C-alpha cells in the first residue's frame, strides 16, 4: 500500500467516525474496545472473571451490576443504570464520576473514539 492510499484510508475511517453511527462506527468501536478495554473486560456474561467486570448487556444494566464481580465501595454504592450518555461521561473521566474507582485511569480522552466505544457497547 502506498503512503497516499494508507493516509486516504485513514481519512475515510476518520470520516466514518466523525459521521457517527452506522456499521463503520460500530466496527471501529469494537477495534478500540479490543485495544483499550478487552485486557480487563470480557463481553460475555459466562466468560471467566478478569481483572474487571464483564460488560455484557451493559445498556440499561445497573451500575456495579455484575453479580460475579467484587466491586470497589464507590461502585457498590452507586445507583442507577448505564445509558449511552452516562457511559460517555464516565469514560471521559472515570474517577471524576466515581472517586476511588479501581479502573486505573483507563478512560478515553478523544471524543470520537469514546463515542465509537459507547455505541459499540450499547449496541450489543
Ligand atoms: C486495567 C484494567 C481495566 C481497563 C484497561 C479498563 N477497565 Fe473498566 N473497569 C476495571 C475495573 C477493575 C472496574 C471495576 C472498578 C471498581 O470496582 O471500582 C471497571 C469498571 C468499568 C465499568 C463499570 C461496570 C459496571 O458493572 O458498572 C465500565 C462501564 C467500564 N469499566 C468500561 C471500560 C471501558 C469501556 C474500558 C476501555 C476504554 C475500560 N473499562 C478499561 C478495569 C479496567
Spell 55-73 as b/e; 16+ CB within 10 A means b: bbebeeeebbbbeeeebee
- From 103, 109, 116, 123, mutation site for ligand 1 pocket: most ligand atoms within 8 A of C-beta: 103
Q: What is the pLDDT of residues 57-114, one digit of tens each?
A: 999 999 999 999 999 999 999 999 999 999 999 999 999 999 999 999 899 999 999 9
Q: What is the pLDDT of residues 30-58, one digit of tens each?
A: 999 999 999 999 999 888 878 999 999 99
CATH code, 34: 1.10.760.10
Q: In angstroms, what is the span from residue 41 Cα to ligand 1's centroid?
A: 7
pLDDT at 27: 75
118 neighbors 84 (Cβ within 8 angstroms): yes
Distances (CA, A) of 54 to 15, 61, 68, 114: 31, 11, 9, 19
Tell me the residue range of the domain where 24 lies. 3-122
Q: In the structure, what pLDDT confidence band is assigned to residue 23 with cuts at 50, 70 and 90? A: low
Ligand 1 atom with least separation from CA of 102: 18
88 neighbors 108 (Cβ within 8 angstroms): no
Q: pTM to 2 decimals?
A: 0.85
Amino acid at each position: 500500500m502506498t503512503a497516499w492510499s494508507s493516509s486516504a484510508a485513514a481519512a475515510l475511517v476518520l470520516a466514518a467516525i466523525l459521521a457517527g453511527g452506522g456499521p463503520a462506527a460500530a466496527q471501529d468501536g469494537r477495534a478500540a474496545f479490543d485495544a483499550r478495554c478487552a485486557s480487563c473486560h470480557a463481553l460475555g456474561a459466562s466468560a471467566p472473571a478478569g481483572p474487571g467486570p464483564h460488560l455484557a448487556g451493559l445498556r440499561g444494566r445497573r451500575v456495579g451490576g455484575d453479580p460475579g464481580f467484587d466491586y470497589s465501595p464507590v461502585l457498590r454504592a452507586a445507583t442507577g443504570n448505564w445509558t449511552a450518555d452516562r457511559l460517555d461521561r464516565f469514560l471521559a473521566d472515570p474517577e471524576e464520576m466515581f472517586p476511588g474507582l479501581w479502573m486505573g485511569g483507563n478512560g478515553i480522552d478523544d471524543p470520537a473514539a469514546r463515542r465509537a466505544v459507547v455505541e459499540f457497547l450499547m449496541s450489543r
